[in-house]
Amino acid sequence: MSPTLPNPDLVAALPRLRRYARVLTGDVNRADDLVQDTLARAWEKRSLWQAGSDLRAWLFTIMHNVHVNQYAIRKRRQAESSLDGDEETPGGWQIAVRATQSDRVELAEVLVQIGRLPVEQREVLILAAVEELRYEEIARVQGVPIGTVMSRLNRAREKLRRMSADVQAPLKVVK
C-alpha cells in the first residue's frame, strides 16, 4: 500500500507552491499550470514520499524538476519552430500589498531587481528569504551542493545591494 500524502499539509503548501511557481515562470498562468503539473506528478510519485519527511521540500523538489524539464522542452521547440519566439523574461510579478503608494513603488522596484537576477540566484533567494527553507533543503530541492546554494545566495544578495545602491544614487547633472 502506498503512503497517502497528508491533506492538511498539502493544502497548506499550495500558496507557497504558487509563489515559487511565479518566481520560476514569471507568468501567473504558467505558474498555475506548473503547480497543477507538480501536484499531478506528486500524486503519481506518492509512493516515493516518506511519511514524516518535509512534504513542502519534497513538493518544491518536484516543482523544480518539472520546471526544468518543461523549460528544456519549450526551448527545444522554440529552436525548432522559429527564431522569433518570445524570450522567457522575468515579469508577471504581482503586488498584492495594501500599503502606501511609495511602499508599492519601492516593492515594485525590488521585484524588478530580483527579476534581473540570474535564474539560479533568484530561485535560491526566494527559497531562502520567502519560503524560509534551510540551505540543506534548498540544496535538495535544486539538486546542488550546499556550497553552491550558499554561493548563489551570497551573489544574489550582493547584486541586489549593488542594484539598490545604483537606484538610490543621486542623479548627476551634466552641464
Q: Quick: pLDDT tens for 92-134.
A: 455 454 557 766 677 777 778 888 889 889 889 988 888 888 8
Residue type at 13?
A
**Residue 71 and residue 140 share a domain:** no
Determine contact, residues 57/135, Cβ cutoff 8 Å. no
**Residue 85 and residue 148 share a domain:** no
Higher pLDDT, 94 or 28: 28
Task: Say how many residues make up the chain.
Answer: 175
**Residue 76 and residue 63 share a domain:** yes
Determine contact, residues 44/108, Cβ cutoff 8 Å. no
| Grid cell of 161 as nine digits | 545591494
Is residue 140, in this structure, part of any structural domain at all? yes
Q: Answer left, alpha or beta for residue 88, where phi above 0 means left and psi between -120 and 50 means alpha.
A: beta
Is residue 112, in this structure, part of any structural domain at all? yes
Q: What is the CATH number of the domain that holds 75?
A: 1.10.1740
Q: Which of 94, 121, 140 is the last residue of a domain?
A: 94
> Does residue 157 register a pLDDT over 50?
yes
Residue where the block lists cell 527559497 = 127
Point out the least confidently predicted range of 57-66, 96-105, 132-141, 165-174. Answer: 165-174
Residue 83: pLDDT band by 50, 70, 90 thresholds?
A: very low
Q: Domain of residue 49: give its range.
A: 1-94
Is residue 175, in this structure, part of any structural domain at all? no
Q: Quick: pLDDT tens for 37-58.
A: 999 999 898 888 888 888 888 9
> Does residue 85 register a pLDDT over 60?
no
What DSSP letter does each residue of 60-103 carry, written as one string? HHHHHHHHHHHHHHHHHHHHHH-TTPPP--S----------HHH
**Against a cut of 0.85, is the pTM above it?**
no
| Cα gap 149→156, rounded to integer Å | 10
- Mean pLDDT (the chain, rounded): 79
Is residue 5, in this structure, part of any structural domain at all? yes
